[in-house]
Amino acid sequence: MNRLWSFVGLFVAFVFALTYFGRPAQSDTTATPPRWEYRSEAVEPALLSQRLNEWGGDRWEVFAVERGDTVLEQDGATKLKVTNFQVTARRSLK
């Protein structure tokens, strides 16, 4: 009978530990979601890395870069020419 009570005591301690220590800490205040400001700009291919470095220095987070192509028809051949990049970025509002 003594073994049974030892087992029950250990089981209760285990359930208590899981219930008390197993859940994440809860805060009294709810976190407000971040607010963002957005920016989008057409950038020439030669200036792309310079513009990205400038934006990075101003805390902009680039999340999309799309290529702007122009279709050229020359001598019966179709070619694509990259005319610009559309860069879209965001940064957190304070």
Interatomic CA distance for residues 61 and 87, integer angstroms: 10
Element (H, E) at 2: helix 2-21
| pLDDT for res 50 | 96
Element (H, E) at 65: strand 61-74
- Is the pTM higher than 0.75? The answer reads no
- Which residue stretches of 1-94 are H helix? 2-21, 48-57
| pLDDT for res 16 | 72
C-beta of residue 70 within 8 angstroms of C-beta of residue 83:
yes
| pLDDT for res 9 | 74
Interatomic CA distance for residues 44 and 84, integer angstroms: 5
- Write out the chain's pLDDT in tens, 94 residues: 677 667 667 777 777 776 777 666 666 677 888 899 999 999 999 999 999 999 999 999 999 999 988 888 888 888 888 889 999 999 999 7
